[in-house]
Each structure stands twice: as C-alpha cells, then as structure tokens.
Amino acid sequence: MSLIDRLDASRAWSEDERLVLEQVRRVANDIIAPNAARFDASGEFPWENVRALNALGLNGIFVPEEYGGSPMRYRVYLECVRMISQACAATGIIYATNFHGMKPLIDFGSEEQKQRLLPVIADGGLGSLAITEPTAGSDATGMRTSFRENDEHIILNGGKTFITSGDVADLLLVFGKWEGIAEPKAAISALILEKGTPGFEVVRLEDKLGHRASSTAQIAFTDCRVPRANLLRNPGDGLRILFASLNKSRPSIAAHALGIARAAFADMIGYTNERTQSGRRVIDFQGNQFLIADLASELVLVESWLDHVAGLVESGAADFGIEASVAKMRASDLAMRMALECVQMHGGYGYVKDFRAERLMRDAKITQIWEGTNQVHRQLIGRSFAARN
Ligand SMILES: Cc1cc2nc3c(=O)[nH]c(=O)nc-3n(C[C@H](O)[C@H](O)[C@H](O)COP(=O)(O)OP(=O)(O)OC[C@H]3O[C@@H](n4cnc5c(N)ncnc54)[C@H](O)[C@@H]3O)c2cc1C
C-alpha cells in the first residue's frame, strides 16, 4: 500500500457513506474520466456526466431531507468533489458550483424559500453563484448590480462576469446593491434568480485555457423582475451571507484542486515507473525521487488539513475562515505545481495531447485564481497575525 492509499484507508466512513462513495467512484471511472478528453476538445457542456451524477441523486447529499435531499457529512461531499475532479476537473466544478450557489439558500433561506426552491436542486437542477463583475473581482464590494424595490418585486439591473454555469443554471444566487441604502457595503444584498426570468440574458461564453467543458458566462440583467419572496433575509444582509458562503465553498475548491493534484500525481508515478532512459526507469533517478517525495508529502499534508477543516465545519465552528483560506491556497498551489511537474516528468510526451498531463496543467491554473486569488488568501492569512491597535 502506498502512502496515499494508507491515508485513504485511514478515513472512517459509515456504511451508507461508503456505498455512496463507491457509486461515485464507479461513475467517475467508468463514465466521467473516459469522456474528459472529448469534452475538453469540443468544449461542449458535459450533460452526459451531469446526468450520470444526477442518476445517483448526488445533489441530495447536501440538501436537507425536508426539501428532498438525503444529507451526508460535509467531508463526504468534499470527497465526491475530489473524486469527480480527479476524473474531469470541468465536471467537478459544475457539481461543486451547485453547492456553492445553493448552500447560502440552505443556511440563510426562509422556510418558504427552501420548500419552494430546494427540491429543484435535490432533483438534479444546476446552481450558480454570481458575484464577480467586470469592475469588481477580488474586491467584490465594488459590485454595481442594483436591486430596486418595486411593490412585490425587486428590479435587477447590471451584470456579472465569469459565472460558472451562468447560462445553464436553474437557480442563480445573485449579489447586488439595494438602492436606498447609502453605505456601499451595507447595501449588498442577495437573491435567488430563477431560470427564464424576463430581462435575464447570457451575453457571451468565455473561451478558456482549461475547464473547457464547464461554461463560464457573462450575464446581464435589464429591468429583470424577481419576486421579493426570493430575497435572502433582509436588504443589506448580503455581505454576511457572502462571507459565510465563501468559508464553506473554499474547502470545496480545495477538494477540487486536490482532485487535479491526485490525477497528476498518479500519472507521474505511472509514467516514471514505466519509462526507461539510460537503462533505468525514470523513477530510479534519485533527483526524481526527491521531487516525488516532496510532492507526495505535500499531498498528504494538504489532504489532512482539509480533513481538519471538514471537522471544523461539521462541528458547527463559527470561525474557520483562515483555516479555509489555508486549505484553498495550499491545495491550489499544489495542484499547479503537481501538474507542471507531471508534464515535466513525461518529457516531450507531457506536451502533447496523447497524455492528459497537459490538460491537467491547463485545468490547474484557475484554482489559484478563483474563490479569492492566492494573493488575496495570503493577505488574509498574514493579516490575521497582525496585532490590532
Ligand atoms: C473560469 C472562471 C470561473 C469563474 N467562476 C466564477 C463564478 O462562478 N462566480 C463568480 O462570482 N466569479 C467567478 N469567477 C471569477 C473569479 O472569482 C475572479 O476572476 C477572481 O476573483 C479574480 O477577480 P478578477 O479576475 O477581477 O481579478 P482582479 O481582482 O482584477 O485581480 C488582478 C490581479 O490583482 C491581484 N490583486 C487584486 N487584489 C489584490 C490584493 N488586495 N492584494 C494583492 N493582489 C491583489 C490579483 O491577485 C490578480 O493577480 C470565475 C473566473 C474564471 C476565470
């Protein structure tokens, strides 16, 4: 058993959890992984993979039972994200985005909202999280999308950019500023936008380096009328909802990055054990063993840290933002480094499309950019040690 197999074996799953993870592993290996190169090449949305996950009812593991789900521990969800992303990073982020967009509805929605909206997701609907705007990226508080109250409706104007599944989602969690609240941060509010709402438009889809099968949409709202009943909590509660949501989506982004890192590590080990040069296997050169030792150690340490963060979430801890930042930053830096070294260890074959190493490298890069760039996470972690005067 390898170091990584032993880490996997050390995780204690209940019988029900093990069954779900087995099914996800089967779908990942038999359907999602074999489709990955084709969807990457065509850039087509991977509906076949989404349907295979929905056949397992996989959104249900994060939706409460009262609203059609069959919930499991947060770490089971993270393990699913990791396994799916290891098979196909684009499909992994589509699945994870359902959680990122809809967890705030679960945590902050009213009983009426959850009864009405969550069954759509439990049944396999797609969710989306719309924060970023052309002039508001790392500083999301600079957003300009406006929410104006009008009788029983909220009128949306503005637009969002780089929205994962923005064109295909059934429900979008949209952040904007409430007209009439003067202080910009205090004006941030959140609502659920349902597919087909008049005034909602997909402006364009991005042509990307990696994650080519996941859609990334620029969307616009022109006098888009949303029932007031879709507002989460009260006008001005958006920033609190945003921060609480990011704390739970960042570990999920870490799990996604670790899926890419694991795929790259597995390919590197497979190839260097087979390829021979100068009469020796590539893995037998000591310099390469040192590199593999560094990467394997980092992988098990980051995964163990993510297990720790999962424990904090499951225990109901209120304050784990810095821990989540550490997981996101280290997992994504590792995914990028692992994918680069995987290409390197494949020599020239790493640079051509016969092997998936080059795809893993393209897929890895965005993990250092989204859900807070790694510069921003370094700033958050570093600042947390600064004494307050
Ligand atoms: C494929 C893809 C999918 C995405 N999916 C979504 C989604 O589903 N929903 C969504 O809302 N957004 C999504 N995003 C947006 C993503 O989260 C942003 O791109 C990211 O937050 C960075 O914002 P920006 O692109 O405007 O870069 P900027 O914020 O303009 O950053 C430019 C550079 O400046 C640096 N910088 C900025 N501020 C600081 C600082 N304080 N200290 C140090 N350096 C700093 C950054 O690190 C970066 O290197 C997605 C983006 C992509 C490319």
DSSP string, 129-172: EE--BTTBSS-GGG---EEEEETTEEEEEEEEEEEETTTT-SEE
The answer to whether the CB of 379 is under 6 A from ligand 1 is yes
- What pLDDT shows up at residue 7? 97
User: Ligand 1 mean position to 329 CA, how many Å?
Assistant: 14
- What pLDDT shows up at residue 245? 87
End-to-end CA distance of the chain: 52
- What pLDDT shows up at residue 388? 85
Angle among Cα 351, 353, 359 to the nearest 5 degrees reads 80
The answer to whether the CB of 162 is under 6 A from ligand 1 is yes
Q: Which of 39, 141, 150 is nearest to 89 (CA)?
A: 39
The ligand 1 atom at the shortest distance from the C-alpha of residue 214 is 1
Give the count of beta carbons closer than 10 Å to the beta carbon of residue 366. 25
Helix (H) or strand (E) holding 110: none
The answer to whether the CB of 131 is under 6 A from ligand 1 is yes
User: Ligand 1 mean position to 312 CA, how many Å?
Assistant: 27
Give the count of beta carbons closer than 10 Å to the beta carbon of residue 220. 18
Cα 178 to chain center, whole Å? Answer: 28
The answer to whether the CB of 135 is under 6 A from ligand 1 is no
The answer to whether the CB of 136 is under 6 A from ligand 1 is no
Residues 6 or more apart whose CB falls under 8 angstroms from that of 210 comprise 89, 359, 361, 362, 363, 364, 365, 366
Low-confidence ranges of the chain (pLDDT < 50): none
The ligand 1 atom at the shortest distance from the C-alpha of residue 374 is 47
Bridge partners of residue 149, in order along the sequence: 154
Best residue among 93, 99, 100, 138 to mutate for probing ligand 1's pocket (most ligand atoms within 8 Å of CB) is 138
- What pLDDT shows up at residue 389? 75
Residue nearest to atom 6 of ligand 1 (CA): 163
In angstroms, what is the C-alpha Rg of the chain?
Answer: 21
Q: What is the pLDDT of residues 27-71, one digit of tens each?
A: 999 999 999 999 999 999 999 999 999 999 999 999 999 999 999
**Beta strand pairing status for 200-205 and 188-194?**
unpaired
Angle among Cα 218, 378, 102 to the nearest 5 degrees reads 40
User: Ligand 1 mean position to 138 CA, how many Å?
Assistant: 5
**What's the pTM value of the predicted model, to 2 decimals?**
0.98
The answer to whether the CB of 369 is under 6 A from ligand 1 is yes
69 touches 156 (CB < 8 A): no
Rounded Cα–Cα distance for residues 165 and 163 (Å): 6
Length of the chain: 389
User: Ligand 1 mean position to 371 CA, how many Å?
Assistant: 7
Angle among Cα 21, 77, 26 to the nearest 5 degrees reads 25
Rounded Cα–Cα distance for residues 118 and 110 (Å): 11
The ligand 1 atom at the shortest distance from the C-alpha of residue 379 is 42
The answer to whether the CB of 375 is under 6 A from ligand 1 is yes
The answer to whether the CB of 163 is under 6 A from ligand 1 is yes
User: Ligand 1 mean position to 370 CA, how many Å?
Assistant: 6
Residue 79 a catalytic site member: no
The ligand 1 atom at the shortest distance from the C-alpha of residue 139 is 29
- What pLDDT shows up at residue 75? 98
28 touches 86 (CB < 8 A): yes
User: Ligand 1 mean position to 257 CA, how many Å?
Assistant: 16
Residue nearest to atom 25 of ligand 1 (CA): 137
The answer to whether the CB of 99 is under 6 A from ligand 1 is no
